[in-house]
Amino acid sequence: MNLDKTRPRNVLAFWTYGWFVNSGTSPYLALPAIGWDMFARSGRPYTQGRIRGEDLVFAETEWRFPLQKSKDKWGGVLFLSLPSQAQFAKPKYWFTYNHTGRFDDRWSFGFDINYRTTGLIPLNSSLTAGRVGLNYHTKTGFRITGGYAWFGTFASEADQIWLHEDRAYQQVQYNHKKGNINVVHHLRIEQRWRQQFTNEDLDETISTFTNRYRYLIQFDGPITNYPDNKTGFRWQLANEFFIHNKEEVGYMLFDQNRTLAGVLISPPGKMSVAVLYQLIVQQQPFLRETFLINSFRITLFQTLDFRKKKKNIMEKEIPVID
Amino acid sequence: MRHKKTNLFYGTGYHLDIFWNIDDRQLDLDASPPRITHHYRYQDLKGINTEKYSQSGLSANATFDSRDNVVNPYEGHLAAFSFRAFPEFLGSTTNASQLWMEYRT
């Protein structure tokens, strides 16, 4: 980052990286350690490998400046470096493919496929889900959706591998712009028929019915301003709040809250990828405890346009985290 | 591989690290009390061999680089992402995966 337009050599530079063992066990000498970057420069003046652990975060900032009034022969440098090693609860991973197809000015369909895991190597699936919906776009900018979803929770302890859930949902979504920031609100009602174990031996199940309400607000704005034919980068921030209405679900109405932050990468074309960190605060109904869950979400968005006739509405579909 | 004519690059890789004949000179298990090193303690805790092990796996990598000069940049950004998976069936001593995320400006 240049500090002085007339002196290009007056530069403030930042460097940061994170290196994590995100599943499984790495042997000691293969653990993330300071100084094992490509040019072995991180963590000056520590010896290489002085700081080592399963999760490593490093940040360095450096000021390079000229020492002479107008010449560039001599310069100086000051740097500050902060390596840190920490232990985190192993995160979960959510992978999603999200598809929207516009076949009419007023109508579109959407579906998504979800796969959730608690570890990548060894792979430890926890949930698979699919969702389909039909969207109606109103003239006033609302999008009304009705749809169905199936969720399968992986229960490896039991003979029965899947716990099924059927879900119907209705949703209203509204987008607006503030400067170059997109704001999306959506409110969703879900009718859930969930299969649950009734005893500790995990051999009998019942199906229970509950309603859930969720509200999402999402912001996204540009990081880089590139023309349409270049890869676009946008930041994304969202919060979603859930309430559950049945008493047997828990002693509180609060079900969970999800906070997300990350980057949306859109190469030229119909696809874009969102890489987000998600913090879930979840109420565990029977244990009467609140849990914090770290997760990473990688979502592939694809938006297709099947309209054959002239298109009256050309607004771009905003990728919304689901 | 370069994505179209952008600053985005991606590719895959293979990583192999074999550590053998590890001679931990600080370690003295016969002393009283025994002198334990970080290496020994970690390996023992995780139940891995303390003298030899290996890591073998594949990686998926992506880099976005818009710097004007690689050695002494005046402007631009670098963002790098690398996911490395070291499964046992490829010859790793233990199953593991590592993630590297980096940003410079």
Is residue A260 within 8 Å of residue A239, measured between CB atoms?
Answer: yes
pLDDT at A256: 86
Binary contact (A17, B103; C-beta < 8 A)? yes
Q: Copy the structure tokens of residue B104.
A: 């410079």
* Residue A3: band (very low, low, confident or very high) from pLDDT cuts 50, 70, 90: low
Phi/psi-derived region of residue B21, left when phi > 0, alpha when psi is between -120 and 50, beta in every other case: left
B9 lies within 8 A of chain A by CB: no
Alpha-carbon distance A221 to B6, whole Å? 20
pLDDT at A207: 83
* Residue A144: band (very low, low, confident or very high) from pLDDT cuts 50, 70, 90: very high
Higher model confidence: residue A270 or residue A313? A270
pLDDT at A33: 79
Task: Identify which of A2, A27, A37 has the shortest CB distance to residue B93.
Answer: A27
* Residue A187: band (very low, low, confident or very high) from pLDDT cuts 50, 70, 90: very high
pLDDT above 90: residue A132: yes
Contact list in A for residue B93 (CB cut-off 8 A) is 27
A95 lies within 8 A of chain B by CB: no
Q: Nearest residue on chain B to A26, judged by CA atoms? A: B96
Beta strands A289-305; A92-102: pairing state: parallel
Q: Nearest residue on chain B to A226, judged by CA atoms? A: B6
Binary contact (B42, A28; C-beta < 8 A)? yes
Which CATH class name applies to A92-305?
mainly beta
pLDDT at A104: 85
- Which of A11-25, A39-53, A98-112, A307-321 tops mean pLDDT? A98-112
Task: Identify which of A2, A17, A20 has the shortest CB distance to residue B98.
Answer: A20
The amino acid occupying position A136 is: Y
Which strands form A55-66's sheet, in the order they lie side by side? A75-86, A55-66, A11-24, B96-104, B78-86, B53-65, B8-19
* Residue B34: band (very low, low, confident or very high) from pLDDT cuts 50, 70, 90: confident
Contact list in A for residue B104 (CB cut-off 8 A) is 13-16
* Residue A86: band (very low, low, confident or very high) from pLDDT cuts 50, 70, 90: low
Alpha-carbon distance A133 to A99, whole Å? 10
Q: Is the bond leading into A268 cis (omega within 30 degrees of zero)? A: no
Mean pLDDT of chain A: 80
Predicted ipTM of the assembly: 0.79
Q: Copy the structure tokens of residue B82.
A: 């690398």
Delimit the domains of chain A by residue range: 11-86, 92-305
> A209 CA to chain B: closest CA distance, Å?
39
Which range among A131-140, A200-209, B17-26, B86-95 shows the weakest confidence by mean pLDDT? A200-209
pLDDT at A149: 93
Q: Pick from A317, A319, A282: which is nearest to A297 by CA?
A: A319
Binary contact (B97, A267; C-beta < 8 A)? no
Would you tell me which residues 13-72 of chain B have a C-beta closer than 8 angstroms to some C-beta of chain A? 17, 19, 22, 38-39, 42-43, 46, 48, 53, 55, 64
| Mutation to test the B interface, candidates A21, A28, A56, most B Cβ within 10 Å | A28
> B89 CA to chain A: closest CA distance, Å?
11
Alpha-carbon distance A237 to A224, whole Å? 16
A122 lies within 8 A of chain B by CB: yes
Contact list in B for residue A31 (CB cut-off 8 A) is 42
* Residue A5: band (very low, low, confident or very high) from pLDDT cuts 50, 70, 90: low
Contact list in A for residue B53 (CB cut-off 8 A) is 27, 29-30
Is residue B75 within 8 Å of residue B68, measured between CB atoms?
Answer: yes
> B79 CA to chain A: closest CA distance, Å?
9
